Chains A and B, each alone.
Chain A
Amino acid sequence: MEKCYHCGEDCIDILEFSGRHFCCNGCKMVYEILETNDLSYYYELQERPGISQKRKKVDFSFLDNEEIVEKLLDFDEAGKQIASLHIPTIHCSSCIWILENLNRLHSGIQSSTVDFPRKKVRVSFSKEKVTLKEVVALMAGIGYEPSISLENYEKPEKQIDRSLIFKLGVAGFAFGNIMFLSFPEYFEVKEFWLDQFKYLFRWLMFAFSLPVVFYSANSYFISAYKGLRSRILNIDVPIALGIFVLFFRSFFEIITDTGTGFFDSLSGLVFFLLLGKYFQQKTYSYLSFERDYRSYFPIAVTRISKFEGKDIEEQIPVYKIEKGDRILIRNEELVPMDAVLLSGAATIDYSFVTGEAEPIDRVAGDKLFAGGRQKGGLIEVEALKPVKQSYLTELWSDEVFRKNKNKGYHSITDKISKYFTLAVIGIALIAGVFWLIADPSKAGNAFTAVLIIACPCAIALAAPFTLGNILRIFGRKGFYLKEAEVIEQLAEIDAVVFDKTGTITNTSKQEVNYAGMALNEEELQLLTGSLRASGHPLSRSLYNILKKNGIKVPEQFEEVAGQGIAIKDGARSMKIGSANFVDYKVSNLAEAEKTSVHISSDSDYKGCFTFRNSYREGTGEIFRELSKDKELYILSGDNEGERQQLEQLLPSGTQMFFDQRPGDKLEFIKNLQKKGLKVMMVGDGLNDAGALAQSNVGVAVSEDINIFSPACDAIMDVSIFRKLPELLKISKKAVGVIYISFLLSFLYNLIGLGFAVTGNLKPVYAAILMPLSSVSIVAFTTFCSYWLGKRLNFKKTES
């Protein structure tokens, strides 16, 4: 099959333009725009760089509202406006190039700069020549549609925290200079002039070490203090102790002229530690893991108000909605607040909120809840509550979303550091007491030397480097983690809870079976013809299957919202819809719970089309693999209709629970945790958000990682869903690597302690031993984690 020149998707109806094939009109149009503006270099940088244009375009008319535009601008002065726009679809170097050449598409745009990791574009333009709406529409036109949600409106861009890189810079600067100044004394050159200068060198080193101790290392002191206050011996306690002893012993040595001190080791230690921290901090910062309902809500809605007796439509910010306002909701738009339907046929898809896959029909006078998505035509509603008091927003006030999940979690490093700290202090005391009796002059020396050499730099580095590497490797495969610690938690999981709809089922694919008497040619054609005219989602998916039949448009057509379609054509009349609507008595409960479309012709019942979920490829394998050592559960917002099919597919130990509301899911996870289980929740929608937040590891499975993912610890690309068991295994192995590194670092410590307890620790030994242990640990963990990564021998399927 031909691939689209623009986006690389398979072309079903091939469109041709200047000898190239396109999958849809959208893609062709983008190509035309780029071609006519001399921007086809876009296609040089990367093959098929475009984004499929089949998705529905968003209406940006809310950008006509001055108030909203003002909120979105970073800078607003005469002649120059700057806006930072989030473009989820940025994915390759072609994207960077085209977005930085926007000024060639419109002269009003002055410049644009892309921040690839954060998927942002900073556009400066002149209000006199081009409006923000035009800029946004232009970007959407070439396939880079900015995502503007309520979130942008509410909080200003967070200030970037650069303190770590400053600290790292200071430590590195001091480290280099101190090493340089201590060179003469490493070789103990007995030379007149160098002996003269060494005092100056020492005081300079002292001066350089001050910012390292008091600025760069301050986070260790603070963390150690906090740890001690809450009676936890975390890894920062021995580190802070080491730094403290290093500094004061060195200071003492230079004022009493007994030695050079350990300023080089001190600054080196801090530098390496910060380097480890920096390494761990570099995560997938461009994927947002902290989303709440605000990221999904529109920034503006269309309000209808009376003005001089006439109805006028205006765009207002969502927060301006008041009780009693009349609001217009279009196809595919979200209902932002609880409301009453005034007019129009509403088909509301609540899968966002409840997980129930089938849309629900509503008629005028019915209540609609916030978070539902309208599928079908235009509807008019009356707001019952302002946005902030709606059902969905109240769900978010649950405490789960506010507490810091990892507060009570002890990482492996923290676990081991307790024993480590006690051991080090014990050895230091024994050595000190021993020398106090044997040779009091060496006692202080030995005591401090133990604390210095045993400083757990290598231990503190093992976890950040191993986990940091694994995190990046996972990310390259399509499994994105919020932070490196999640890997440790993944290794401990003993119960896995799956959401059904959208997670293990494939929402875009449904299996349809027909049961009953066969329909004749004319009936089929009439059926297809009437389905075509209906906007109901079930009709649409059925139509897609039947459209290969001929189409006959019925003479009379009547659609009863929430019921079905009645048609008349000549002598024939047909009814298509719910069992009640076609006067069919459902015989048992199992049948009632299935999603079906019933058909009767000339008041004879014919049969029904039954919709069944289609499960993701490999679901059975995943469950069998996981069931070996984990408890498995399925929570579904749907009814029991699918139970039988699931029981056939999955291993016998799997427990299933249906009709679960978001709150039930959260409680379910809580109960499992009360039993002492470490729970992983795998879900996809907002309805799972509470459960994802409550679980030890919440994994959001997503078809498009940039567009939809609730608050969670990890985001998983659907294409690697079947690799879930493997990912868990790798996490376990990664933790194993950390333990081996600990062992290695203990060996180094033993050698160092040999020097220390005998009172023979010289600065040059420390200066060699300490970085050597750190570097070899880093090398070991890096090697091991890449080796583990190699075993993940699958590629993220190109999307």
Chain B
Amino acid sequence: MNIIYLLLAVSLVVALIFFVAFIFSVKSGQYDDVYTPSVRMLFDDEVKTKKKETSKKSNQ
């Protein structure tokens, strides 16, 4: 049952890693703007192919 010591230590370390990651993410400003990134990730990279499609559409 002494394994609990190890498990406890591991779980604490993992929790601490996440906590430190959280601190860093806040400090780097990730939480300052929680809206724009959610929009940005939806942008398509394939602009050119998109464009052709629309010009076809508008020609019809």
Interface set of A (CB-CB < 8 Å, partner B): 19-20, 38-41, 43-45, 93, 96-97, 100, 113-118, 160, 162, 165-166, 169, 173, 176-177, 180, 193, 196-197, 200, 204
Contact = CB atoms under 8 A, between A and B. Distances in A.
A117 B33 contact: yes
Given A41-B44, A44-B54, A177-B15, A162 B26 contact: yes
Nearest to B2: A193
Contacts of A38: 47-48, 51
A757 B17 CA distance: 42
Contact of B33 (A40, A93, A115, A173): A115
A166 B26 contact: yes
B4 interface: yes
A173 B17 CA distance: 11
A165 B34 CA distance: 13
Contacts of A45: 43
19 contacts: A19-B58, A38-B48, A41-B44, A41-B47, A43-B54, A93-B43, A96-B36, A96-B40, A97-B43, A100-B40, A115-B33, A160-B32, A162-B26, A162-B31, A166-B26, A169-B26, A193-B4, A200-B8, A204-B8
A93 B26 contact: no
Chain A interface SS verdict (over half): helix
Given A38-B51, A40-B54, A193-B1, A169 B22 contact: yes
Chain B interface SS verdict (over half): helix
Interface residues on B, range: 20 to 34
B31 to A, nearest CB: 5
A93 B36 CA distance: 9
The 8 A-B pairs with the shortest beta carbon distances in the complex, nearest first, are A193-B1, A116-B36, A41-B47, A115-B33, A93-B39, A173-B19, A116-B35, A169-B22
Given A19-B58, A38-B47, A44-B50, A116 B15 contact: no
Nearest to B38: A116
A45 B1 CA distance: 59
A116 B1 CA distance: 53
A788 B43 CA distance: 35
Contacts of B23: 166, 169
A200 B7 CA distance: 13
A118 B34 CA distance: 11
B56 interface: no
Contacts of A193: 1, 4
A97 B44 CA distance: 10
Contact of A162 (B4, B19, B27): B27
A193 B3 CA distance: 11
A769 to B, nearest CB: 26
Given A100-B40, A114-B40, A204-B12, 15 more contacts: A19-B58, A38-B48, A41-B47, A44-B54, A45-B43, A93-B42, A97-B43, A114-B36, A115-B32, A115-B33, A162-B26, A162-B27, A165-B31, A169-B19, A177-B12
Nearest to B29: A160
A44 B26 CA distance: 33
A20 B59 CA distance: 11
Contacts of B50: 41, 44
A654 B31 CA distance: 49
A118 B26 contact: no
Contacts of A162: 26-27, 31-32
B42 to A, nearest CB: 8
